Amino acid sequence: MKVVVLLAALTAPFWFLAHPLWEVDDARYAEVPRAMAASGDWAVPRLNGFEYVEKPPLWYWLAASSYAALGVAESSARLPLAGLALLAAAGVWWLGSWLPREGTPPGEGGPPDTALTAALAFSTCAGFLALSHSITPDLPLTAFLTWCTALILRALAHPEDGRWAGPLAWFFAGLAFLSKGLVALLFPGLWSVALLALFPALRRGWPGLAAPAGPLCFLLVTGPWLLCMEDRRPGFLRFFFIEQHFQRFLTPKYNRPGPWFFFLPVVAAGLLPWTHLAAAGLGTAWREWRGKSWRAPSLALWSLGVILFFSASRSKLATYIMPALPHLCLLAAMAAPSAAKRWVRLAGASAGVLLLASAAAVFVPGVRALAPDAGAAWACAAALALFGAGQLAALSRRWSLLGPAAGALLALGAGLRGMDLAEPFVSSRPISREIVSRAGPGDLVYCYGTFLHGLPFYTGRTVDRMIYWVGELHYAQRDPANADRFGDDNAIRALPLRGKTVFVVLRSSEGRYFKTLVKPEDLRRFQSFGRWSLAEVGYTPRP
């Protein structure tokens, strides 16, 4: 039965691939590769016609290749993401297949299905299920770092494997670098040094990991793009490393603050429904540390290092913590046989909370009002109820692991359905369809106070002016050639334009103020699409 549920979990990233692109990140990381494939320039990523070099290009290359093979659609955008999700789960399984038995007498070191349990836990935890359906660079980074760390441990624990595991670890570090940047080198490097310093038994594998073939692999993977970009855009390396890494970490420039404990509840929520077993796994790591074993402590050291690093950053996003989850799920699997019985009451209590929350989502007016419509409220309630039922099933010894996993998968299906029902509140697809149906070849599209990243994807045209919005386009804004692409209220006051209709996308909450900037007779149409509105401004002949 565990294999059946695991197979269902491994298909979950492929569910509902064609659901609408969600704002903001999901739409952004689908649009950039679309523009790349359309332009034929695979070196310089672009967003809305601007150079968008804040992130490395590997994800864009994968998605653009999918578009080239299958055509431009939401499903082809998400197909590479689903493949990377499977790659991450395979890394968890492979590491779990041999690590729990390291340094233990035959027959000890964990049950033979620890690898399956670890893969099941990872592929059904909330963080994985969410990011396997919402495109960000964090899941590719996690997939490659999972394999990188697994291969580092293999090279250190088995020196005879160092000739292939060491260089391959560097290769995956290179892929991780092309997914997210310097953390792909920093995390494995610091972690490896810590392992060598704390566990003498691993030092015999150091020569295989440090062999010249490894760094050469890393440079061959990462160097060509970096050199190409610096050649085409002098000063790029300074922008990429200094501004996008050091300034992002050390300064509040990107306006993503958070308290020091920001990631603690994020990790706890991201591990659901396995949070309690992961906590028990950290206890196992502490006991093994005192017993001079490196198995579980090495996993805990990685996860806690990732959490502490991002907790110290001045820029915090919930998705940053994803690389810590595979190793915590491995710890959960290692602790499951002895910890499951001790945590049944917690599972029952959490099930009760979730079931009450599901009832509140439908029957309590104040809570129900948070949902965009009745269908979305019912879908949210169904997701919570199914998740809670899975936790409740954990009270049964037979279903202690399968129940929460099945509940999480069913909750995913209900949640995705709810997002479909809430489409106008989470996606620019409806408002884009209206623009396509009404805009002529010479008409313009503006965004006021916001930028819907899915607009270029769905309309096939760039947004002509972005008013009171810069976002992450700092690199593009500083170019004088782009000065007329950004603006303020004066750009709206200058409307209408003779011979052109201007479609302005804005937040619905700003509609009243926006109408004071436009002459009433020139505002031809004003429609609401969930939390956004579309204003159609055109010239009206004066008597």
More confident residue, 201 or 357: 201
Question: Residue 201 to residues 22, 82, 158, 159, 205: CA-CA distances in angstroms?
Answer: 48, 37, 10, 11, 9
Concatenate the DSSP letters of all residues of 74-98 into one string: HHHHHHHHHHHHHHHHHHHHHHHHH
Cβ contacts of 34 within 8 Å, gap of 6 or more = 63, 64, 67, 72, 77, 456, 457
Average pLDDT, the chain: 88
pLDDT band for position 370 (cuts 50, 70, 90): very low
More confident residue, 371 or 247: 247
Nearest to 126 by CA among 270, 333, 287, 318: 270
- If DSSP codes are grouped into helix, strand and coil, which group holds residue 46? strand
What mean pLDDT do residues 487-506 have?
Answer: 94
Q: What's the full length of the chain, in residues?
A: 543
What mean pLDDT do residues 307-315 have?
Answer: 91
Q: Which amino acid is at 247?
A: Q
Kind of pairing between the strands at 523-529 and 486-487 = unpaired
Give, rounded to a whole angstrom, the gap between the first and last alpha carbons of the chain.
78
Q: What's the pLDDT at 351?
A: 53
The pTM for the full model equals: 0.92
Peptide bond into 24 cis (omega under 30): yes
pLDDT band for position 543 (cuts 50, 70, 90): low
pLDDT tens-digit readout, 120-150: 999 999 999 999 999 999 999 999 999 999 9
pLDDT band for position 343 (cuts 50, 70, 90): low
What mean pLDDT do residues 405-431 have?
Answer: 89
**Is the pLDDT assigned to residue 46 strictly greater than 80?**
yes
What mean pLDDT do residues 205-225 have?
Answer: 95
Phi, psi of 261 (to 5 degrees): -95, 15
pLDDT tens-digit readout, 258-307: 888 899 999 988 998 898 889 999 999 999 998 888 999 999 999 999 99
pLDDT tens-digit readout, 75-113: 999 999 999 999 999 999 999 999 987 765 544 445 558
pLDDT tens-digit readout, 383-417: 767 777 776 666 666 667 888 888 889 889 988 88
Q: What's the pLDDT at 104?
A: 58
Kind of pairing between the strands at 501-507 and 444-448 = parallel
Phi, psi of 408 (to 5 degrees): -65, -40
pLDDT tens-digit readout, 432-456: 999 999 999 899 999 999 999 999 9
Kind of pairing between the strands at 46-47 and 50-51 = antiparallel
8 A C-beta contact, residue 363 and residue 334: no
Phi, psi of 49 (to 5 degrees): 85, -10
Q: What's the pLDDT at 366?
A: 44
**Is the pLDDT assigned to residue 217 strictly greater than 60?**
yes
**Is the pLDDT assigned to residue 361 strictly greater than 50?**
no
